[in-house]
Amino acid sequence: MKLFDSFFLKHLELRNRLVMPPMCTYQAQACDGKVTPFHQAHYLAPAIGGVGLVIVEATAVAPEGRISDYDLGLWCDGQISGLRSLVEGVHATGAKIAIQLGHAGRKCEATNGVSSILGPSPLAYDDSYRIPEEMDEKTINRVIDEFKQAARRAEEAGFDAIEIHAAHGYLINQFISPATNKRSDQYKEPSLFLSQVLQAVHATWPVEKPLWVRVSATDYSPDGYDVTYCSKVLAAIKPMIDAVHVSSGGVVPIVPPVYPGYQIAFARTIGEAVDLPVIAVGMLSSPDLAEYALQSGFADLVAVGRGLLRNPNWLLEIACQHQKDFLLQQPMYLQRGFPLH
**Residue numbers at the binding site for ligand FNR (CB under 6 A):** 21-24, 57-58, 100, 165, 167-168, 214, 247, 281-285, 304-307
Q: What letter would DSSP give residue 5? A: S
User: Shortest approach of ligand FNR to residue 333 CB, angstroms?
Assistant: 28
Position with the least CB separation from ligand FNR: 305
Count Cβ atoms below 10 Å from residue 184 Cβ, excluding itself: 7
User: Judged by CB, which is closer to ligand FNR: 68, or 329?
Assistant: 68
Asked if residue 28 lies in contact with residue 36, where contact means CB atoms within 8 angstroms, the answer is: yes
Residue whose CB is less far from ligand FNR, 22 or 89: 22
Shortest Cβ 100–ligand FNR spacing (Å): 6
Q: Which residues of 200-223 are buried (b: 16+ CB within 10 A; e: fewer)?
A: bbbeebeeebbbbbbbbbbbbbee
Q: Pick the closer one to ligand FNR by CB: 118 or 167.
A: 167
- CB 123, min distance to ligand FNR, A: 22
Nearer to ligand FNR, 48 or 172 (CB): 172
Phi, then psi, of 161 in degrees rounded to 5: -160, 160
Smallest gap, in angstroms, from Cβ of residue 250 to ligand FNR? 8
CB of 105 or CB of 330, closer to ligand FNR: 105
How many CA atoms lie within 13 Å of 304's alpha carbon, on the beta-carbon side? 27
Residue spans of alpha helices (H) in 112-226: 137-157, 171-176, 192-202
Could you tell me the smallest distance in angstroms from the CB atom of residue 308 to ligand FNR? 8
- Amino acid at position 251, single letter: V
Residue 152 CB, shortest distance to ligand FNR, in Å, is 21
- Cβ at position 281, least distance to ligand FNR in Å: 4
Residue 97 or 330: the one with the smaller Cβ distance to ligand FNR is: 97
Q: How far apart are CA 209 and CA 163, in angstroms?
A: 11
Q: Taking the mean position of all CA atoms in its chain, how far away is CA 15?
A: 19
Distance from C-alpha of 259 to C-alpha of 282, rounded to nearest angstrom = 8
Q: Which of 203/254 has CB closer to ligand FNR?
A: 254
Q: H-type helices in the chain, by residue range? A: 37-48, 80-92, 137-157, 171-176, 192-202, 227-237, 264-274, 287-295, 306-310, 314-322, 324-328, 331-336
